[in-house]
């Protein structure tokens, strides 16, 4: 009888250990809106391409009428600041980072927006 109880106890422990799930880090998607200055379709392509260059960006859509980009990011992989920095690096001022004058000056004439001081 003792052996039977011991076998059942060991079996129960073995089954319960296997039944436990591994905790998987779930992605946390978040929509963020970033002000990004621009004028035309070339600006739209450049801004969205810069946003997608950041690992963790799931979706990016720039709106010329509002001068902002709606981005869905995986917060485990990137931040709003990472996306804004990437956009500024291609010549478009954001609400968080200003593009360098050298990169802005190299943009096509129709893409040169009015810069705030």
| pLDDT tens across the length of the chain (117 residues) | 777 676 666 776 666 656 555 555 566 899 999 999 999 999 999 999 999 999 999 999 999 999 999 999 999 999 999 999 999 999 999 999 999 999 999 999 999 999 976
Q: How would CATH label the architecture of 29-111?
A: 2-Layer Sandwich (3.30)
Instruction: Classify 52 as helix, strand or coil.
Output: helix
**pTM of the entire predicted model:** 0.76
Question: By C-alpha distance, which of 28, 86, 39, 26 is closest to 67?
Answer: 39
Query: Rounded to whole angstroms, how far apart are CA atoms 79 and 95?
Result: 14
| Structure confidence at residue 6 (pLDDT) | 65
Indicate the angle between helix axes 41-52 and 80-89, nearest 10 degrees: 130
Tell me the domain boundaries of the chain: 29-111
Answer yes or no: are the C-beta atoms of 87 and 54 closer than 8 Å. Answer: no
């Amino acid at each position: 009888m003792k052996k039977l109880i011991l076998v059942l106890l060991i079996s129960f422990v073995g089954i319960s250990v296997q039944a436990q799930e591994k905790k998987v880090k779930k992605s946390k998607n978040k929509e963020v809106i970033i002000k990004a200055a621009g004028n035309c379709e070339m600006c739209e392509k450049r801004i969205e391409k810069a946003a997608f260059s950041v690992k963790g960006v799931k979706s990016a859509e720039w709106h010329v009428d509002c001068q902002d980009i709606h981005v869905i990011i995986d917060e485990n992989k990137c931040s709003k600041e990472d996306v804004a920095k990437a956009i500024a690096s291609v010549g478009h001022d954001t609400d968080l980072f200003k593009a360098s004058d050298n990169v802005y000056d190299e943009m096509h004439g129709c893409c040169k927006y009015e810069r705030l001081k």
